[in-house]
């Protein structure tokens, strides 16, 4: 592979991961409700007293090990690296956003819906942009995404597989949320918005990219 192409892919991988982690963290700090997987990681981190990014890293590593046992695919090493980078980025963004918005303080601006809901919606868009970059550039995804793809081939439907996995992690998140007594901070009304909003937003961004690509090719 050409050196310039490799550099381009590495740069876009890093940009995509940084944006993805920023968006995920933004959703988490609103405490309006996150995706089932992210909620699970937050509660898991609280339970064992580690940072959310570290919990995310561990979850991705465990999924990668299970998936490797099933597939013997050494390319999963890249997924582990992606999981590590996402975890580290979340560990960077979360304390930064906590400090900026005084999360946990009674006077935090994030306690007001007029700010937290739009902030959460913007965070969804940021997640979608990060994910779209990885998809467009055909870059390695997290082990959770790889697991979804693997199981979808067995089940025969990506949508059904996604629903099943999301439901599985939702059940785990609810259990851990009840144990930590923090359930409603990450499983709430915004969880539904995240679930139904991220996918269509990614598709919207991909359609814009494809249209611009078609116009560019037509001009050339």
Q: What is the largest CA-CA distance in the chain?
A: 60
- What pLDDT is recorded for position 34? 96
- What pLDDT is recorded for position 92? 97
Q: Give the chain's domain count.
A: 1
Q: In terms of residue numbers, what domain contains 147?
A: 3-219
Q: Of the candidates 89, 118, 93, which has an alpha carbon nearest to the alpha carbon of residue 16?
A: 89
pTM of the model: 0.90
- What pLDDT is recorded for position 149? 81
Q: Give the span between the Cα atoms of 92 and 113, in whole angstroms.
A: 25
With beta carbons less than 8 A apart as the criterion, state whether 61 and 83 touch.
yes
pLDDT tens across the length of the chain (220 residues): 677 778 888 899 899 999 999 999 999 999 999 999 999 999 999 999 999 999 999 999 999 888 888 888 777 788 888 889 999 999 999 999 999 999 888 889 999 999 999 999 999 999 999 988 988 887 777 888 888 888 888 888 877 888 888 899 999 999 999 999 999 999 999 999 998 888 889 888 988 888 887 777 666 6
134: CB partners within 8 A, 6+ apart: 12, 13, 16, 17, 20, 140, 141
């Amino acid at each position: 592979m050409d050196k310039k192409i490799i550099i381009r892919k590495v740069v876009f991988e890093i940009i995509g991961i940084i944006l993805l982690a920023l968006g995920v963290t933004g959703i988490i700090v609103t405490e309006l409700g996150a995706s089932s997987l992210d909620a699970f990681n937050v509660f898991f981190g609280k339970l064992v007293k580690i940072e959310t990014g570290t919990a995310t890293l561990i979850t991705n590593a465990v999924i990668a090990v299970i998936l490797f046992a099933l597939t013997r695919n050494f390319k999963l090493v890249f997924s582990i690296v992606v999981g590590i980078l996402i975890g580290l980025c979340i560990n960077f963004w979360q304390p930064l956003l906590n400090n900026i918005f005084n999360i946990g303080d009674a006077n935090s601006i994030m306690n007001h819906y007029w700010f937290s809901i739009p902030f959460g919606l913007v965070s969804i868009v940021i997640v979608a942009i990060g994910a779209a970059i990885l998809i467009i550039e055909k870059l390695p995804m997290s082990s959770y995404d790889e697991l979804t793809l693997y199981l979808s081939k067995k089940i025969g439907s990506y949508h059904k597989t996604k629903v099943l996995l999301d439901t599985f992690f939702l059940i785990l998140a609810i259990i851990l949320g009840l144990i930590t007594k923090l359930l409603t901070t990450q499983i709430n009304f915004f969880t539904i918005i995240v679930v139904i909003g991220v996918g269509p937003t990614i598709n919207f961004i991909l359609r814009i990219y494809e249209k611009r690509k078609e116009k560019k090719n037509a001009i050339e």
